[in-house]
Structure 1
Amino acid sequence: MIGSPEATRQVLVTNAHLFKPTFPASKERMLGKQAIFFSTGDYHAKLRKLVLRAITPEAIKNIVSDIESIAVDTLRSLDGNLITTFQEMKTYAFNVALLSILGTEEAKYREDLKRFYYIIEKGYNSMPINLPGTLFHKAMKARKELSRIFAKILSVRRGTKEQYTDLLGSFMEESEGLSDEQIADNIIGVIFAARDTTASIMTWIFKYLAENPSVLQAVTEEQEAIIKAKEESGEEKVLNWNDTKNMPLTSRVIQETLRVASILNFTFREAVEDVLPLFRNIHHNPENFPEPEKFDPSRFEAPVKPNTFIPFGSGVHSCPGNELAKLEILVLLHHLTTKYRYSMIAPQNGVQYGPFPLPQNGLPIKISLKK
């Protein structure tokens, strides 16, 4: 296990060709052996290019309004309710993931995809015993059903001869020569990569803002100022998490949550001996971040030391969907802080893993519309 920025860079960037990503074989079977995060070399480079083409900051500008609609509908459905934050954020992240994959077509397939994917989710961390009645067996059957749904969508799309700019459309490019099986593996893999990680970090944002009311108030004022500026100018402004000029605090809150929570604790790399770069150790090393357990967005007012902040990994296998993840976090945070108030049901000091770190019990809160 390695926990220094220098050694981690050697494994993930400088000598990445000597260390291949590796996952338990059962996980590869369930998600698909030809998915991007199980691949290396030229095939990985091609997949990464196709993913990035569909979810670059420029590309996702076209779906900001759709993500905003999902965020507004999500928060509206929670008004006045006692909720488990993590479960509701998983639904939000799942719907955004489907939007990025299928565009506006996603509504037609959402319920079927959700039903089978949730079965896979239940079996993901189960014992890999493929016998009738086991969670693993049910998950593998659901995996086949998801492949059939995507095969149907691919068949329909090919019959229309239309050009699609979503992620599925990028994978369908004839010049890239991907088979239906390769496309299904990668779409299912993207849903897995996009859902629980993003939902986890949003849950921690709820927690840290509730525990730091002065920060919450400052973020609210910053977001309300954006609304006011938009109304006064009459221009249609696109929310941009990297807009440090108009949203310096909000951007720092997201960065600090990514650091403190460190949803991606580590990543597997296989060499002559297995190597495990420990992202949490880097993020919580007091030499890199003084008082590392303290939630303090101001630590990002100045640039941090190189290679000490890597919430999305680093190198050729870093998360290609990080811009989409940060955008959906920002959009929901914008509407949460300007339109709603919420409170945690009880002090939240415990951490649970499933497999990513979460506040205890998924952070129960009471949320309501501001009057």
Structure 2
Amino acid sequence: MCMEITAISLLLTIIVLSTCFVFLSYPSMKKRRNPQELTAKLPPGSMGWPYVGETLQLYSEDPNRFFASKQKRYGEIFKTHILGCPCVMLASPEAARFVLVTHANLFKPTYPRSKERLIGPSALFFHQGEYHSRLRRLVQASLSPEAIRKLVPDSESTAISALHSWASRPQVIIIFHEMKKFSFNIGILSVFGHLDSNYRDQLKENYAIVDKGYNSFPTSIPGTAYSKALLARKRINEIISEIIGKRKEQRVMENDLLGHMLKYKDEKSQALSDDQIADNVIGVLFAAQDTTASVLTWILKYLHDDQKLLEAVKTEQMAIYEANEEGKKPLTWSQTRNMPVTYKVIQESLRMASIISFTFREAVEDVVYKGYLIPKGWKVMPLFRNIHHNPKFFPTPHSFDPSRFEVPPKPNTFMPFGNGVHSCPGNELAKLNMLIFIHHLVTKFRWELVGNEKGIQYSPFPVPLHGLPARFWKK
């Protein structure tokens, strides 16, 4: 595994850690509100060094090994202190369901303030309560299977264009970087429909700057990546406001996500402001781009490494290709619903890669779970990767085996898109575009990986080392 710590990341860690002293105020010093809380104790685990906690251990080794070793030593619920705050980590399906579904009202979504500034405070996944519920229904309506089936022709065109572009280049391409461009274009399509190329290019240019600054050191000093990202974020607001103005002027109300947001009215007949719409557009693009790109990158690696599996996927897709007169007819929605072998490859890739390894929540009050106290203000982290790689639920979990999904997984053991009210509303769109992309990849193109280095890099999502360099060519 490839893990690198730069001087900047160390400096960021120290600064963040120095601002958080919550762990010094242990819950035993607080007044309990009921007898159960009086007898509850903190979960087992180590809080690490004063101020520093265990952040350096987390960043100096494969994070998956860090979480797995903790679970092996302490069990499926344990405490630690990372990224400046005390945390309770949960590695069982029941605990994940408790936090994300049955008692979700006790745990609010939480993100670093620096990241919230770049996405926008009105974004869907920063909220609980009625605002979140109404907005989520709005996003789900624009990304439902009934809505996205209309995107099949445009998604297909986008996939074909990307693959032809890669095959036309004599040089090595970095698959992850190219997949990010592909998934961004799909995101633009789902939000804006057929957007004017000038606006699309402006959004792409500024979004790339925001994306670069998102995981950088959060300082507003002019010239830094984060400072540039803040400026680019303001420009995106201006671009979206201009697009909204043109739609209103032309009285165009499409059924894309932007159209749904423009038609929205709350119970007081209040519409969303341009800033609220911009925040949620950026939120959707952020949620879609890196995750979809990471999974597709892993799929290409897994298929390349297992030629027998690749042939099985080709056989399935070639039958559809020939039924469509060797690609002269476009894919149909019903065809994308009937790709069982390919779909199981996607499911197993989602499980193996576990792009979203965990999610952050924060206890809004003292909570007792299985006799353990989760104090108010502590971060709570359901560990999806630990659950996905648990041999109790997935035998030989580190082997890539799509056949395991011939039987549905046990409830709450497979959560690649999260769970509960804050699960990803765009998961159907993501899977649709993966199916379309794989169809054209295996029926019309070939690829080979360049270099034999193995490993994983985190940026911050796990991707193959160096972003998976490869060459493509047409069959």
TM-score tier (shorter) = over 0.9
- The match for 1:254 is 346
- The match for 1:186 is 280
Q: Distance in 2 between matches of 1:313 and 1:337?
A: 29
Q: Distance in 2 between matches of 1:349 and 1:308?
A: 28
1:263 aligns with 2:351: no
1:9 aligns with 2:97: yes
User: Is residue 241–residue 251 contact of structure 1 (8 Å, CA) maintained in 2?
Assistant: no
- The match for 2:323 is 229
Moved more, 79-88 or 67-76: 79-88
1:20 aligns with 2:108: yes
- SS of the equivalent of 1:276 reads strand
Letter aligned with residue 268 of structure 1: F
1:281 aligns with 2:369: no
TM-score (norm 1): 0.96
1:50 aligns with 2:127: no
Cα displacement (A) at 1:230: 3.7
Cα displacement (A) at 1:174: 4.7
Q: Which of structures 1 and 2 has the larger relative contact order (alpha carbons within 8 angstroms, sep 6+)?
A: 1
- SS of the equivalent of 1:366 reads strand
Letter aligned with residue 342 of structure 2: T
Q: Distance in 1 between matches of 2:282 and 2:430?
A: 17
- The match for 2:413 is 308
Cα displacement (A) at 1:229: 2.9
Cα displacement (A) at 1:236: 6.5
Q: Distance in 2 between matches of 1:80 and 1:10?
A: 50
Cα displacement (A) at 1:227: 2.0
Letter aligned with residue 144 of structure 1: K
Deviations 1:206-264 (A, max 9, x none): 000000011011101100111223449x9865246873xx3211010000000000000
- The match for 2:265 is 175
Cα displacement (A) at 1:101: 0.6
Find 1:292's aligned residue among 397, 407, 423.
397
Cα displacement (A) at 1:347: 2.7
Figure out how many residues of one structure are paired with residues of the other and give that number: 367
Q: Distance in 1 between matches of 2:117 and 2:213?
A: 12
Q: Distance in 2 between matches of 1:289 and 1:32?
A: 38
Deviations 1:320-367 (A, max 9, x none): 000011111111110001001111112352000001000000000111
RMSD, matched Cα:
1.6
1:134 aligns with 2:239: no
- Judging changes above 3 Å, is the alpha-carbon distance between structure 1 residues 128 and 280 closer, same or farther for their aligned structure 2 residues? same
Deviations 1:262-310 (A, max 9, x none): 0000000100121000000000001110111110000001111111100
- Larger Cα Rg: Structure 1 or Structure 2? 2
Find 1:113's aligned residue among 190, 203, 227.
203
Matches within 5 A, 1:325-336: 325-336=430-441
Letter aligned with residue 248 of structure 1: P
Q: Distance in 2 between matches of 1:106 and 1:292?
A: 46
Q: Distance in 1 between matches of 2:119 and 2:226?
A: 12
- Judging changes above 3 Å, is the alpha-carbon distance between structure 1 residues 88 and 97 closer, same or farther for their aligned structure 2 residues? same
- SS of the equivalent of 1:367 reads strand
User: Is residue 241–residue 330 contact of structure 1 (8 Å, CA) maintained in 2?
Assistant: no
Q: Distance in 2 between matches of 1:302 and 1:254?
A: 15
- Judging changes above 3 Å, is the alpha-carbon distance between structure 1 residues 187 and 241 closer, same or farther for their aligned structure 2 residues? farther
Deviations 1:13-43 (A, max 9, x none): 0101111110001100111011011111111
The sequence identity of aligned pairs, in percent, is 53
Letter aligned with residue 462 of structure 2: P
- The match for 2:123 is 35
Q: Distance in 2 between matches of 1:319 and 1:9?
A: 15
Letter aligned with residue 363 of structure 1: L
Cα displacement (A) at 1:175: 2.2
- SS of the equivalent of 1:49 reads helix
Letter aligned with residue 331 of structure 1: I
